[in-house]
Structure 1
Amino acid sequence: MKYVILIHSNPDPWGHPTSRFTAEGRALSEEQQAQDDSAFEALLEEISASGELVTAEALADPASSTVYSWSPEGHLATDGPFAETKEQLAGFFLLDCATRQRAEEIAAQFAGPGSHVELRPAMWAGGDDQ
């Protein structure tokens, strides 16, 4: 089953990896940042080798987005971001895992300093959304 890991963060300034640009991430020692980078690279290698990683993308600054809305008069485009919150969607990873438990094991490792991770099953037309 496919799962999406959504990374939510509030880096200032916007940059990737987002944890380097959050107050929590900047508070870490260079040694800790290097350890975290090494662990993340090992995780990416593991899920790439197993075939569980389908695709991933980091997203640009939410201020560069355009939000499209529908109205009876036609579509309306406005400057983004859509959400009026500090935390924004910073990127996503699409996984194909045998079980939800495995997807949860992977997702937990994506939570970094100053970020929150959301795991959600992908739902295809006509498919289950469990």
Structure 2
Amino acid sequence: MKYAVLIYQNEKEWAEASEEQRRAAYAAHGRFTRLLQERNADRGGEELALSDTARTVRLRGDDAVVTDGPYAETAEQLGGFYLVDTADLDEALEFARELARMGDVIEVRPVAAPPGGVH
């Protein structure tokens, strides 16, 4: 079953991180990616640009209105994601716990199956 493992982080803390702290974070993500690959669960993932580069599109009547920034103001912003293919939710949560050890907030969400039930 496929799950999106979403990584939320405080962008202010990331902006203030030292070069050494950043290298350590990237190294930890590299180790995590290798774990996913060893378990044949890696289906992709990416770091996202900072939320101030985001645009939000909302429908207002018949018009699509584009505004700067993310959808909501929150303490943490979506900073990246992994797409994993696991046997079940428990295995996806096991991976999420590994990521959470890095200090970020992790959301695990099933990828919706299309009509017919096969990805």
Give the TM interval when normalised to the shorter protein.
0.7 to 0.9
Per-residue CA deviation, residues 14-52 of structure 1 (Å, 9 max, x unaligned), is: 55xxxx83xxxx7xxx7xx85x76654333212113320
Q: Which residue of 2 aligns with 1:88?
A: 77
Equivalenced residues, count? 114
User: What amino acid maps onto 1:9 in structure 2?
Assistant: Q
Q: Percent identity?
A: 32
Q: Distance in 2 between matches of 1:77 and 1:117?
A: 28
Amino acid at match of 2:83: L
State which drifts further: 85-94 or 36-45: 36-45
* CA positional deviation for 1:13: 6.0
| 5+ residue gaps, structure 2 | none
* Residue 109 (structure 1) aligned with residue 98 (structure 2): yes
Q: Which runs of 4+ in 1 moved over 6 A?
A: none
Q: With structure 2 as the length reference, what TM-score do the two structures score?
A: 0.79
Could you list the per-position Cα deviations for residues 47-79 of structure 1 after superposition, in whole angstroms to 9, with x for gaps in the alignment? 113320100011101001111100113100111
Deviation at 1:93, TM superposition (A): 0.4
TM superposition score normalised by structure 1: 0.73
Unaligned 5+ runs, structure 1:
none
CA distance in 1, matches of 2:46, 2:31: 18
Q: Whose strand proportion is higher, 1 or 2? A: 2
Q: 2:56·2:66 contact (CA, 8 Å) conserved in 1?
A: yes
1:6 equivalenced with 2:6 (yes/no): yes
